[in-house]
Amino acid sequence: MTLDFFLPEGVYALVMVAAFALGAFALKLPIAIAMTGAAVLGALIAGYGIPVRHLVEGMFGFIDTILIIATAMIFMKSVQAVGLLESIAAQGIRKFRNKPLLLSLGVTLLIMFPGMLTGSSTACCLTTGALVAPILMHLGVSRVKTGALIAIAALLGMIAPPINIPVMIIGGGIDMPYVGFTIPLLAVTIPPAIFAAMLLAWPSLRKSEGRDEEALEKELARMSSVPLTLRLCTPIIVLATLMAGEQLFPQTFPFLGMPLQFLIASASALFTGQRCNILDVATEAIRDALPVLGILMGVGMFIQVMTLNGVRGFVVLSALSIPEWALYVSIAVSLPIFGAISSFGAASVLGVPFMFALLSLDQIIVASALSLVASIGDLMPPTALAGIFAGQAVGEKNYFKILKLCMIPALVIIIWGIFFIAYAGPLASVLRY
């Protein structure tokens, strides 16, 4: 971007970003705390003191998204606790273990599933990623390739519908409702997911050598301890019914909202499968979701102060002033790099200005593509959340080995995102969403 940092707003922008980087990287503070500190400093140097009202208002700016993530995480932990996730995974692997192509695609989609509901790549790595990791390694996929597949699938799950937090953040910045994104988000995520599966899993699954059939059978037997029945699938059936009914019959079906839908589906899990303590499940779910929820609160305060001291308008005007080709390069480079701090932060600080600069194009397609590019931030060191948690799932301490194998899929994802932005108009006509 062509930023004039001699303007007061330019100085504020530099100070806020520098303070954030200092807190997150040098002082190793949690992302949410570092973002809050940068917001307070940005208000102080602009002469607003400590604007408690603005900080509180910003903290609750994403309350709808926070409630969705929290309740979705409770739902995921519930279906995991009753044995539904393991039973589905075991059934699918038994059925497709000798069909490597279908197995590769199915495992990738299974890894993506938690992110589709929670909007968090971390949820994918900690639940289905950890679940399928030993299976893939018993089938002959190397530890590092398994970790890379989990990391890439986790990113794409975070962007796939129905829950996409970066799009919600971008939409909140330009007053665009989160409506009509299902088909565009599927279009930007499914092809890269197929590519990642074909690149990282399929070649190894085609070969018979390297398989540990005995260990695989033991693992599948453990996962199949709860039989996959219609009753066990009740939570997913309830959730699908509530979501579909609201979309298909808006005039007659009761509007409950996604948080309540997730809670009702979670409650239905109590009557299926293994017995579980719902209080313990909910506590674990909220504990795992707290880092993401804290980041959203920090992002809200950061954006609120950026609006207060003029930095947000300054960045938007700067984005509008650069030529189109340079704008595409800036999106491809700056969104992933800034995403090393937080992909959510990248969506708010850079995604919103880029969106304003591209308002002449189809907004839903552009927002979907921007969120896809921003997701690569979860692979960028030193935070590299997807890489680190994928490493934990496969037992690989040196997560840079995983990130190295993620480079080609990540580059493909960025190119795919830029393609969608450049041809947003024609693609909107083709997709007919």
Task: Kindly compute the dihedral angle of the four CA atoms of residues 376, 381, 385, 388, in this order, to the nearest 10 degrees.
Answer: 120
| Residue 37 pLDDT greater than 60, yes or no | yes
Per the CB < 8 A criterion, the answer to whether 397 and 391 are in contact is: yes
What is the chain's length? 433
Q: Pick the range with the lowest mean pLDDT from 100-109, 130-139, 243-252.
A: 243-252
Task: Kindly compute the dihedral angle of the four CA atoms of residues 102, 118, 302, 319, in this order, to the nearest 10 degrees.
Answer: 30
Determine the pLDDT at residue 432. 67
Per the CB < 8 A criterion, the answer to whether 227 and 87 are in contact is: yes
Fill in the amino acid letter for 261: Q
Residue range 370-396: average pLDDT? Answer: 88
- 196-220 burial by CB neighbour count: b if 16+ within 10 A, else e? bbebbbbebbeeeeebeeeebeebb
Determine the pLDDT at residue 210. 66
Say which residues have a Cβ less than 8 Å from residue 296's Cβ, sequence separation at least 6.
62, 65, 66, 69, 165, 344
Report how far apart the first and last C-alpha atoms of the chain are (Å, whole number).
Answer: 32
pLDDT grade for 122, boundaries at 50, 70 and 90:
confident
Residue range 6-19: average pLDDT? Answer: 84
Average pLDDT, the chain: 88
The count of C-alpha atoms lying within 13 angstroms of the C-alpha of 109, restricted to the half-sphere facing its C-beta, is 14
Model-level pTM?
0.84
pLDDT tens digits, residue range 81-108? 999 989 998 898 888 888 999 999 999 9
Fill in the amino acid letter for 343: S
- Cα torsion 191, 192, 195, 197: sign: negative
| Residue 69 pLDDT greater than 80, yes or no | yes
Q: How far apart are CA 358 and CA 319, in angstroms?
A: 9
CA 230, chain centre distance (Å): 29
Determine the pLDDT at residue 173. 78
Determine the pLDDT at residue 262. 93
Determine the pLDDT at residue 2. 45
Both tokens of residue 363?
């907004």
Determine the pLDDT at residue 8. 83
Both tokens of residue 402?
């995983």
pLDDT tens digits, residue range 193-248? 999 999 999 999 988 666 778 888 888 888 888 888 999 999 999 999 998 888 78
Question: Which residue would you say has higher pLDDT here, 416 or 393?
Answer: 416
| Residue 51 pLDDT greater than 90, yes or no | yes
Write down the number of H helices and E strands in the chain.
24, 0
- DSSP classification of residue 212: -
Residue range 16-41: average pLDDT? Answer: 87
Measured CA to CA in angstroms, residue 147 lies from 99, 137, 200, 393, 396 at distances of 21, 10, 10, 7, 8
pLDDT grade for 252, boundaries at 50, 70 and 90:
confident
Question: Which residue would you say has higher pLDDT here, 308 or 249?
Answer: 308
Q: What are phi and psi of 273, to 5 degrees?
A: 55, -150
Of 334, 416, 342, 417, the C-alpha closest to 378 is: 342
pLDDT tens digits, residue range 384-400? 888 888 998 898 888 89
Per the omega criterion (within 30 degrees of 0), is the bond before 162 cis?
A: yes
Residue range 144-148: average pLDDT? Answer: 95
| Residue 1 pLDDT greater than 60, yes or no | no
pLDDT tens digits, residue range 292-302? 888 888 888 98
pLDDT grade for 4, boundaries at 50, 70 and 90:
low
